[in-house]
Structure 1
Amino acid sequence: MTGNAPTAVVRAELTKIRTLWSTLGALALALVVSVGIALINNISVRHAIDTGSDMVVDDFDPVNSGFVGVQFAQLALLAFGVLLISGEYGSGMIRVSLAAVPSRGLFYVGKIASAAVVAFPLSLVMSFACFLASQQALGPHGVSLGEGEALRAVLGAPLYLTLMCLFSLGVATMLRGTALSLSLLFSVVFVFSPVANAVPGLREVARYLPDRAGSQVMTVGEQADSVLGPWAGLLVLVLWTAAALVGGLLVLRRRDA
């Protein structure tokens, strides 16, 4: 890789990603399934509203209802961020990569940039598709993109998902193992965070967890956190992500491949 130019390093990392058809296929499937979940969920919600069912929660908001499928996409993007680096450690390719790019900092920046280049556009498409599909399914109970804070939520979702992907990349670089990294991330995001948020004594702590804080940027109405707000919540996630990435860099520089 001539001169190890940053653009060349990023291109090399994107080439690696393109060769992982199973990973790209999983991401594409996540997009389709997320939209499908949003569509099916809101068809059900529309029926419940039309029939006067008490299954509809009091704080229902059509904008929030459009992001039900985001959790599935989040799972896929967390796994993607982990596999970008842990896959190389698992296969031993990390030695080849670091031989090609001796500067570990540059190699790491290439990983971060390539992850963002893939995650953000995918998340952006998914966010708009989920919102439009869900509002179509809600019919007269839906809202347009220009109403209220709908546009902020739709644009906030890909920011949130991309940052969570980079957060997982940083965690995986520190832990170096796929199983350990995924177990930790999934436990925090899908188990500890929801449970802690439901327990009065832990709720104050839960609001500052990366997923709980960051998701405020795509949450509106009564379900939004009145303490953090959308942009403060996103800032908390940025700090978590920065800490994870810095931690990953320190480990990468100090440990042997």
Structure 2
Amino acid sequence: MAATQVLRSEWTKIRSVSSTVWTLGLALVVTVALGLLISILSKNDYDSLSREDKITFDPTYISFAGMSLGQLAMIVFGVLVVANEYSTGMIRTSLAAVPQRATFLFSKIAVATLLAFLVGLATSFLTFFVGQAVLGEYKAQIGDPGVLRAVVGGALYMALIAMFSMGVAAMLRSPMLSLGILMPFFFLISSILGNVEATKKIGRFLPDQAGSKIMQVKSPFDDDTPYGPWGGLAIMVAWTVAALVGGYVLLKKRDA
């Protein structure tokens, strides 16, 4: 089967499964809603901030506070795109139709990633403009230094979260097992490692913590992170590539 036909087939699979479509919509809604709430609270709390905190006040990053929940939906999306075929048994039919496993897997990932990026782009811009509208006099402008990079970076972050989840799902082949590992990894392990003094230096190299740096315009005074926004994104890309390579290697070696 030609590559264009495989891509078209994967697009049909994704849009015909309502759960995958709903997760993308949910990613947008929860990111914007939580970002709006945090922006309102931050505006109300601004006067009580210390002088140092006011100097490093980052209205752009504040509007992206909802990304912590938005990435949850992107994780589910990435897992469902890959692992649903295993849970339904459709993987055998798919591999019979497309025996070239690299073509099969990376066509699926390419279509899903493009979709995740487009939704992420709409989410990032909407989140930014809604958050800044609420912040009022404390807001940032899209033309301010570093702001456009941060907003586009939010879309890249969401797409990479989805891709990383696809790689993990390709390795594990089970929706429940994949989610059972990814959810604690991002929402428990990463949070603990990043907030405990003894493990902070390890936690900052995890994909979500490194990748989220791209959405920051200002850094706190005590921030000693050894990389900048693009360096953090590069670390996240490295994690994602490792997950995708692992998924492909295991797909190639194992029976359907």
TM-score (norm 1): 0.93
Name the counterpart of 2:131. Answer: 134
Kindly provide the amino acid, as one letter, of the partner of residue 203 in structure 1: K
Would you say the 8 A contact 1:38–1:69 is kept in 2?
yes
1:30 equivalent in alignment to 2:30? no
Q: Which amino acid aligns with 2:28?
A: L
Per-residue deviation at 1:189?
A: 0.9
1:21 to 18, 23, 29: 18
What is the CA–CA distance in structure 2 between the aligned matches of 1:217 and 1:225, rounded to whole Å?
A: 16
Q: CA deviation at 1:53?
A: 3.5
Q: Distance in 1 between matches of 2:241 and 2:248?
A: 11
Q: Which residue of 2 aligns with 1:100?
A: 97
**Distance in 1 separating the partners of 2:88 and 2:113:** 23
Aligned to 1:233: 232
Indicate whether 1:115 and 2:112 are aligned. Answer: yes
**What secondary structure sits across from 1:172 in the alignment?**
helix
Report the Cα distance in structure 2 between the residues aligned to 1:54 and 1:217, rounded to whole angstroms.
Answer: 24
Cα 1:21–1:130 shift into 2, 3 Å: same
In structure 2, runs of 5+ residues without a counterpart are none
- Compare 27-36 and 55-64 and name the one that shifted more: 55-64
Aligned partner of residue 84 in structure 2, secondary structure: helix
Q: CA deviation at 1:220?
A: 2.4
Cα distance change, pair 65–87 in 1 and its aligned pair in 2 (3 A): same
Distance 1:74 1:225, change over 3 A: farther
Asked if residue 155 in structure 1 is aligned to residue 152 in structure 2, the reply is yes
Quote how far apart the aligned CAs of 1:47 are: 2.0
Paired position in structure 2 for 1:247:
246
Corresponding residue for 2:79? 82
Q: Deviations over 1:52-95 (max 9, x none)?
A: 34599925311110101112211111111111111100000001
Task: Supply the distance in 2 between the matched residues of 1:171 and 1:56 (Cα, whole angstroms).
Answer: 44
Contact 2:24 2:116 in 1 (8 A): no
Give CA-to-partner distance per residue, 1:158-186, whole Å, 9 cap, x none: 11111111111001110111111112111
Residue of structure 1 in register with 2:198 after alignment: 201
Taking the aligned partners of 1:57 and 1:19, their CA distance within structure 2 comes to 51
What do residues 180-237 of structure 1 show as CA deviations (whole Å, max 9, x unaligned)? 1112111111111111111122111111111111111112212466311111111111
Q: Secondary structure at the match of 2:255?
A: coil
**Gap change, CA 1:225 and 1:173, over 3 Å in 2:** farther
Distance 1:64 1:253, change over 3 A: same
Taking a change above 3 Å as real, the CA distance of residues 111 and 151 of structure 1, as seen in their structure-2 partners, is: same
TM-score under structure 2 normalisation?
0.93
How far off is 1:33 after superposition? 2.4
- Give 1:123 deviation, angstroms: 0.1
2:2 match: 5
Partners of 1:73 and 1:55 lie apart in 2 by 30
Q: Identify if the C-alpha distance between structure 1 residues 131 and 57 changes in structure 2 by more than 3 Å, giving closer, same or farther.
A: farther
Return the letter of the residue paired with 1:191. L
Matched position secondary structure for 2:143? coil
